[in-house]
Structure 1
């Protein structure tokens, strides 16, 4: 697994990385955030890695691993380090020396939006998730029972405007996604196509409907985070115009 400090494409500046990180934090909000020693600690009861991770965002970074992990261990959570190009170079070797392992590498990608992205009439985009949307998300994401209340609280906290895209056929969920607009950017999150509905172009229809929805609300660029091994999604995003700006990886302690 390659280091997050050697991205697929070198960002123009670390300020660009910092700006995209801040947008993504708002687009997928944690229930609790703390800024400690240059790091943003995000805590959400263990629901999703993104919302329960240690993230570089500031400067003058602390390397006191024990102190930075304490809020997670105090809650019985596994401390996950999310290492982006903002992370100080010395932190990865320190974690390696302690036996931490990388569990996932992901790409932060961006794409210019334009008027040619068209909304599909079968895709309903609502500003709140319907009960059917929630049930489909819980089932197909999937969300464990103990995390369902946290999940709904996080959805309610997403920066406005937010669009919940949904496709149903004869009352059955087919595909869904979330778009969150902040300024001239739209974040794309949790694109899900149900197993029986795959290979029908639904991922493209849902995402491009959200791009059109976001364009109407002033967004001119989209960003997303995708696991580097997602062989189904990455070609679609490339065809839509997405490019990798930087990579990041999660590291967890050896007892995890």
Structure 2
């Protein structure tokens, strides 16, 4: 289920997402936020519209993309409802592919979000957490140092959730509290531990942890084709506020 578009709410959620997944370097030009992180994740290396003052012409497009070329990065456009209407069609006409359609969803934190004793949440990632998360994501070896820098740069309160079985970490999730919202990121379950409800338990536990830190709502980003996650999130009350997609050369 989707909610009517609310550009003020969209901008608030965008800002929360940017703070929760901080890029190593940022620049604002012509109403666009450029994020740079050495190529680790699309969202941390993308061009994002900031709202009503966002401008777009072919000259502006070339200016924004030049900063990525200087860093030997592909220019990745992350298009939300805040982007000018002609951007998507212009990029499509120039051969940019549209990929990874995704939803931003929000839920009220109610009694469906209860802490599970199998899930432990720490304020900082242990070396074991970082190694297990990188292996399961997977994160390329040359990006692992960048990953660690980004995760440890998140402003608190932040919670690194894990599930351990037989001495091995088989479940991961990340929670970031920002005001009255807690963001849920990167719920990962090892293949051998799937279909046991661990994704639900991780999600519920992050929500409960967020409540303890003053959050009243949870938000997340989920790829539109994730047929396993979408029904789970729906049962916990998550509704789509808006969608976005990437345009890549």
Name the stretch that deviates more: 41-50 or 115-124. Answer: 115-124
Are the aligned partners of 1:125 and 1:165 in contact in 2 as well (CA < 8 Å)? yes
Aligned match for 2:35, one of 36, 42, 50: 42
Counterpart Cα distance in 1 of 2:54 and 2:209: 40
How many residue pairs align between the two structures?
246
Question: Does the Cα contact within 8 Å between 1:36 and 1:68 map onto a contact in 2?
Answer: yes
| Alpha-carbon shift at residue 116 of structure 1 (Å) | 4.4
Q: Do residues 193 (structure 1) and 186 (structure 2) align?
A: no
1:62 paired to 2:56:
yes
Give 1:15's aligned residue: 8
Counterpart of 1:206?
Answer: 202
8 Å contact from structure 2 (residues 2, 239) kept in 1? no
- 1:159 matches 2:155: yes
SS class of match (1:51): helix
> 1:114·1:215 contact (CA, 8 Å) conserved in 2?
no
- Alpha-carbon contact 1:102-1:250 (below 8 Å) kept: yes
Q: Does 1:238 align with 2:231?
A: no
Q: Which residue of 2 aligns with 1:138?
A: 134
The one-character-per-residue Cα deviations of 1:175-229 (angstroms, maximum 9, x if unpaired) are 1100000100001000000000000000011111111111010000011000000
Q: CA deviation at 1:60?
A: 3.9
- Distance in 2 (CA, whole Å) between partners of 1:237 and 1:90 is 32
Q: Give the whole-Å Cα distance in 2 for the aligned partners of 1:245 and 1:69.
A: 29
Deviation at 1:157, TM superposition (A): 1.2
Post-superposition CA distance 1:114-142 (Å, at most 9, x none): 24421111111000011111111110001
In 1, distance between residues paired with 2:226 and 2:112?
26
Distance 1:185 1:66 in 2: 36
In 2, the alpha carbon distance for the partners of 1:92 and 1:115 equals 40
Alignment match of 1:51 (pick from 44, 51, 57): 44
Structure 2 length normalisation: TM-score?
0.96
Match of residue 89 from structure 1? 85
Question: Which residue, 95, 107, 110 being the options, matches 1:99?
Answer: 95
Q: 1:169 to 1:60 in 2, by over 3 A?
A: closer
CA RMSD of aligned residues (A): 1.2
* TM-superposition CA deviations, 1:208-255 (whole Å, max 9, x none): 1111111010000011000000000010000000000111000011xx
TM-score, length-scaled by structure 1: 0.93
Matched residue SS, 1:68: helix
